[in-house]
Structure 1
Amino acid sequence: MISKKDLSERDICTKFITPAIRKAGWDIQTQVLEEVSFTDGRILIRGKMVGRGKQKRADYILYYKSNIPVAIVEAKDNKHTVRAGLQQAIEYAQILDIPCVFSSNGDSFLWHDRTATGEDLETEIDLDNFPSPQVLWEKYKQYKGISTEEAERIVLQDYYTDISGKRPRYYQQIAINRTIEAIAKKQNRIMLVMATGTGKTLTAFQIVYRLWKAGVKKRILFLADRKILVYQADKTFDYFKNVKTTVVNRKVDKSYELYFALYQGLSSSEEEKNTYKQFSPDFFDLVIIDECHRGSANEDSAWREILNYFKKATHIGLTATPKETTEASSSEYFGDPIYTYSLKQGIDDGFLAPYNVVRIGLNVDLDGYRPEKGKRDKYGLLVEDRIYNRKDFEKNLVIDERTDLVARKVAEFMKVTDRYSKTIVFCVDIDHAERMRSALARHNADLVKENYKYVMQITGDNEEGKRELDNFINPEERYPVIATTSKLMTTGVDAQTCKIIVLDSNIQSMTEFKQIIGRGTRINEEFGKLYFTILDFRNVTDLFADPQFDGDPIRVKELGEGDDITDVLEDEIDGEPEDIEREIKPVSIRMAGTIVQSPGRKVYVNNVDVSVLMEREMFFDYQGKPVTSSLKDYTANTIKSEYKSLDEFLSKWNTAERKKAIIEELTEKGIPVEQLQNAIGRELDLFDLICHAAYDMPPLTRRDRANNVKKRNYFTKYGEKARQVIEALLEKYADEGVETIEDTKVLNLDPFNKMGTPLEIIKVFGSKEKYLQVIKELEKELYQLNA
């Protein structure tokens, strides 16, 4: 008879844990999910190789209803104690917002109750006494403060599910449930902060669906400040097609239940055109405010008047970047966010694309530009004699050669990566975007000749460009490939396949920076979009180091009686947040008999020497913060935080089932393998890079290690054909590294394919197990330190 100690973890689940849960009254088909991966695994970039890290996986998640997770169970085999899985389960429960945590080894359960504060915090219970769904539902209600029957009824309303039965992601589920629970408890001002690309609109749809189905919110207004946001939301809310409408041309039909509208279409400086007043103040039960950090965040804005008019309704603000300035505060109006899902979390979970950063410094930017004596601009007027720097370029002073060099560097990068990578170039203003489009067209003349839409200016004033916005964001459409813009594409542009973001604008606002980075964070695996690259010409990516970049917003607006709060609408022009400054021809004035430029106008000059002084790739630690120390120092500190000594590292390396697992683990920790190889030696594998960088050991190349093995004649005990295979494996190691020889797929490659099929080669060693044992012996020989 097989001992329980000899059973695998999966056997323990099947024979003991699942039956115990079923016996307690849980429906295994509808209320229990087993082996649930609730993240996708962080995307790891190693040179040209892209893979994924480990997914977070729970052994069991128990749902009272399909939308409400109430417990998590972590299983271990019987060689472990009943407590062995508890810490990991508690960590997952905190992430998933679940109150009850269980660990089991098949003997009993250890119950960690997050609602408890005393001796009953952790209790061991036998297999026959696992709590019923109703018991854990009561715990959940206590945890969430759900105290009335009406609140319970609202909370229990199901999600909308299509024929695929696909569930919201875990963070969407939390955002939806917390919002429903807050409204059930009569909270009327709510803010959700979710990073760009994490599905705010889909989350809003599920919230609206559940509240509408529960009969709590019968008439809903979805407010936005961009046509594209309204269009995207309208598509997402297609379920409501028979009861929804969009307010256009200031015409209102009050027979619908769900309304989409632009602020600009509801309000006007002329009282008689304030369309929103065609509705009674209590017409809407719920108002969803998309991108709520924008105009309506300002207390004295015209757009805030709309919210104040419908003040009896519940207001839900959605944003990736809440605004907290001395003039405007999102949290002052909505309260602190009831849930935040940040860019860092999204990247760590593998739902958002990570980024590479290439910093390019131009001489005129880094050293400044001072015009020579008597320098005249393109219109023949004298240029003011002073030092111009990065903040001046394109705003006060335009240097043709600088614009051209930025365009050339972008084109060069695309030529060595992919010339059809969707690319957004963020410029200072529309004039800059126009000239950048022209410069990029010159440096991509061959592709522009094939299709003039290869590069397009997409700005608020350019109707042809705006018509191409949908094609730019459509993965199925090849053109446009490059879009030059200033403000129009910072928010609400769902560019799933954008692989390059170019920063040539002096972005200082953290809100705007986050929004711009968000244009690249969406993933589309079908079209090969797993990460993106930022080409930074203005050192804007210094903002990554700012604690505010991925921290909680801090309220900085001070309120007092009689405060004079100015309206800062971020250049809202007819509803399009776009700087519409055009190229303004200079007006000349005469000073002491000399004609010079008038102040406050752009100066356009050429025949200036502009060159690249610095170009380097930045790298980031596993928390997403830029690394400022040297590669070697950063690697040494990171390695030593994991392995205190060389012996500890060697023990881990030598006992690892597969070296690839250690490599992936260290890559997840942010060890920049590709950069290290470039800096120290591409012919070294990770073992030598680590031992050298962290423990000052002299490195050996892969070729040296392979030759050392050959000299020792260790494999003479094998027959001739087996030795041929081993010799070929050593060559593969010398050329490509240990990961290649660990994968049996190597046997499909040259020269193995000339020795026979993979099965025939493995049979030379007797069996697959014996072949894998030879690989382990080979690795042991390769990594001998005294060789």
Structure 2
Amino acid sequence: MRRSEENPDALTFRAALRQLPVLEANGRRLAQIDAITGLEKSLGEDRARALIQMATGAGKTFTAVAQTYRLLKHAKARRVLFLVDRNNLGRQAYDEFRKFTTPDDGRKLSDIYNVDRLGAAGLQDTSSVTICTIQKMYSLLRGEALAEDEQADEAADSEAYEDTYATDQPIDVSYNPDVPIESFDLIIVDECHRSIYGLWRGVLEYFDAHLVGLTATPTLQTLGFFGRNLVSEYTYPQAVADGVNVDFDVVRMRTDLRENGGAKQEPGGHVAGAGLAPRGPGPAFASVSAACVSRRRAWRASSCPGGGPYRWSGRLARLDGPVRRWRGRGGVRAAPPGRRRCTGPPP
């Protein structure tokens, strides 16, 4: 509306959303093209909320950055807010925005538009993209002073894992004249399935802006919050079939520690009394201290005390004993020559 008042011939933001140019591929994956196309269709229909489901590792943040650039350039969006719930995710998003190369003239997005992380100075009039945690935005709306302290941010990240998204009473966010409800034209919520409950829901509903959620694992509550407006769905099996993500196998194990519920901590950090027995036919591991087994996803590396990292299809293990065998996609195999072994005491 401000733009129309300043220039009566200019389109409003919502009117410009209905006249966005056709998206060109420019090397994007089909899933990213579908997500941007579906979202722009939803925005053109003036639907207040939209949800993008995309498997982890398939490029959710890149898709959001590409969409933001199109809205800044073609729809003349005044400011876009990218909300995260962890400071490390905010740093990653900030790097993604700054290194994004625009497809039309080859310049970096940060050379054309100001990309800022919310700091002690609050919202900046010159910012085209603001990146912050939803916790920090909540503090800003409450009128609390914001600090630019990396150590404090790291501590906040640790506490965030202990926060509950459920509250006994609904949380209201009062109007703050320093942060008008029209401060943003679009709000992108990363990992939105963690941010729409309890305390943080009031932050999302404070602003008069289109809400776009990004998640790999939408729950029924997530779908309900976004009005079941799922504009794009790219699941993990699809990502595996396209070669974007890797497949995995599940190795099930039964340990004395889990069955009997007890273990003895010996000097040197070794855990005794934790034998290992396979579940199902065929040995899964041999000579492995099961008390130190930590299940992780296949693409996350984990190092053992004496070297590592050790990988196999489906799970990773942190071990304090020598690894002699493991189950891979081709069955049980011996460790390949030259692979470093853990040097901790055997079980």
Q: Does 1:297 align with 2:188?
A: no
Q: Does 1:333 align with 2:222?
A: no
User: What are the superposed Cα offsets for residues 147-167 of structure 1, whole Å, 9 maximum, x if unpaired?
Assistant: x9966522x2545x8xxxx42
Deviation at 1:248, TM superposition (A): 2.0
Alignment partner, residue 153 of structure 1? 19
C-alpha separation between the residues in 2 aligned to 1:307 and 1:408?
A: 41
Gaps of 5+ in 2: 1-13, 99-107, 147-174, 276-287, 319-324, 333-347
Deviation at 1:400, TM superposition (A): 4.8
Match of 2:274 among 387, 393, 402: 402
Amino acid at match of 1:204: A
Q: Does 1:248 align with 2:148?
A: no
> Which stretch of structure 1 is more off in the superposition, 182-191 or 349-358?
349-358
In structure 1, the residue corresponding to 2:245 is in which secondary structure? coil
C-alpha separation between the residues in 2 aligned to 1:618 and 1:343?
A: 21
Deviation at 1:280, TM superposition (A): 0.8
C-alpha separation between the residues in 2 aligned to 1:266 and 1:339?
A: 27
Matches within 5 A, 1:230-245: 230-238=90-98, 239-241=108-110, 242-245=113-116
Q: From the superposition, tell whether residues 354 and 153 of structure 1 become closer, same or farther in structure 2 (CA, over 3 Å).
A: same
User: What are the superposed Cα offsets for residues 17-44 of structure 1, whole Å, 9 maximum, x if unpaired?
Assistant: xxxxxxxxxxxxxxxxxxxxxxxxxxxx
C-alpha separation between the residues in 2 aligned to 1:218 and 1:270?
A: 20
C-alpha separation between the residues in 1 aligned to 2:248 and 2:121?
A: 43
CA contact (8 A) 2:16 2:75 kept: no
Deviation at 1:198, TM superposition (A): 0.3
In structure 2, the residue corresponding to 1:171 is in which secondary structure? helix
In structure 2, the residue corresponding to 1:265 is in which secondary structure? helix
Deviation at 1:222, TM superposition (A): 0.4
User: What are the superposed Cα offsets for residues 229-274 of structure 1, whole Å, 9 maximum, x if unpaired?
Assistant: 1122112212331421111236332221111111122223993318
CA contact (8 A) 2:82 2:132 kept: yes
Alignment partner, residue 128 of structure 2? 257
Higher RCO (Cα < 8 Å, 6 or more apart): 2
CA contact (8 A) 1:358 1:618 kept: no
Q: Does 1:308 align with 2:180?
A: no
Alignment partner, residue 271 of structure 1? 142
Q: Does 1:317 align with 2:213?
A: yes
C-alpha separation between the residues in 2 aligned to 1:208 and 1:151?
A: 12
Deviation at 1:359, TM superposition (A): 2.5
Q: From the superposition, tell whether residues 313 and 341 of structure 1 become closer, same or farther in structure 2 (CA, over 3 Å).
A: same
Amino acid at match of 1:191: L
Deviation at 1:618, TM superposition (A): 8.7
Q: From the superposition, tell whether residues 255 and 198 of structure 1 become closer, same or farther in structure 2 (CA, over 3 Å).
A: same
Match of 1:533 among 303, 314, 331: 314
CA contact (8 A) 1:157 1:214 kept: no
In structure 1, the residue corresponding to 2:301 is in which secondary structure? strand
Aligned residues: 254
CA contact (8 A) 2:54 2:214 kept: yes
Alignment partner, residue 48 of structure 2? 188
Amino acid at match of 1:405: S
> Which stretch of structure 1 is more off in the superposition, 345-354 or 271-280?
271-280
TM-score by length of 2: 0.62
In structure 1, the residue corresponding to 2:127 is in which secondary structure? coil
Match of 1:282 among 182, 185, 210: 182
Deviation at 1:227, TM superposition (A): 1.7
In structure 1, the residue corresponding to 2:67 is in which secondary structure? helix
In structure 1, the residue corresponding to 2:46 is in which secondary structure? coil
Q: From the superposition, tell whether residues 194 and 370 of structure 1 become closer, same or farther in structure 2 (CA, over 3 Å).
A: closer
Gaps of 5+ in 1: 1-147, 372-376, 379-397, 411-420, 426-439, 448-453, 455-480, 483-498, 501-531, 538-614, 620-673, 679-787
Q: Does 1:217 align with 2:77?
A: yes
Q: From the superposition, tell whether residues 422 and 152 of structure 1 become closer, same or farther in structure 2 (CA, over 3 Å).
A: closer
In structure 2, the residue corresponding to 1:268 is in which secondary structure? helix
TM-score by length of 1: 0.29
User: What are the superposed Cα offsets for residues 695-727 of structure 1, whole Å, 9 maximum, x if unpaired?
Assistant: xxxxxxxxxxxxxxxxxxxxxxxxxxxxxxxxx
Q: From the superposition, tell whether residues 251 and 288 of structure 1 become closer, same or farther in structure 2 (CA, over 3 Å).
A: same
Q: From the superposition, tell whether residues 201 and 407 of structure 1 become closer, same or farther in structure 2 (CA, over 3 Å).
A: same
C-alpha separation between the residues in 1 aligned to 2:92 and 2:120?
A: 19
In structure 2, the residue corresponding to 1:153 is in which secondary structure? coil
Amino acid at match of 1:334: F
C-alpha separation between the residues in 2 aligned to 1:282 and 1:181?
A: 22
Q: Does 1:343 align with 2:236?
A: yes
In structure 2, the residue corresponding to 1:198 is in which secondary structure? coil
User: What are the superposed Cα offsets for residues 94-121 of structure 1, whole Å, 9 maximum, x if unpaired?
Assistant: xxxxxxxxxxxxxxxxxxxxxxxxxxxx
Alignment partner, residue 520 of structure 1? none
Deviation at 1:210, TM superposition (A): 1.4
Q: From the superposition, tell whether residues 535 and 153 of structure 1 become closer, same or farther in structure 2 (CA, over 3 Å).
A: same
Q: From the superposition, tell whether residues 370 and 153 of structure 1 become closer, same or farther in structure 2 (CA, over 3 Å).
A: closer
User: What are the superposed Cα offsets for residues 410-466 of structure 1, whole Å, 9 maximum, x if unpaired?
Assistant: 8xxxxxxxxxx96248xxxxxxxxxxxxxx42xx1xx4xxxxxx7xxxxxxxxxxxx
C-alpha separation between the residues in 2 aligned to 1:271 and 1:187?
A: 28
Alignment partner, residue 301 of structure 2? 423
Q: From the superposition, tell whether residues 240 and 354 of structure 1 become closer, same or farther in structure 2 (CA, over 3 Å).
A: same
User: What are the superposed Cα offsets for residues 23-71 of structure 1, whole Å, 9 maximum, x if unpaired?
Assistant: xxxxxxxxxxxxxxxxxxxxxxxxxxxxxxxxxxxxxxxxxxxxxxxxx
In structure 1, the residue corresponding to 2:290 is in which secondary structure? helix
Q: From the superposition, tell whether residues 342 and 274 of structure 1 become closer, same or farther in structure 2 (CA, over 3 Å).
A: farther
Q: From the superposition, tell whether residues 361 and 351 of structure 1 become closer, same or farther in structure 2 (CA, over 3 Å).
A: same
Structure ID, larger Rg: 1
Percent identical among aligned pairs is 25
In structure 1, the residue corresponding to 2:251 is in which secondary structure? strand
CA RMSD of aligned residues (A): 3.8
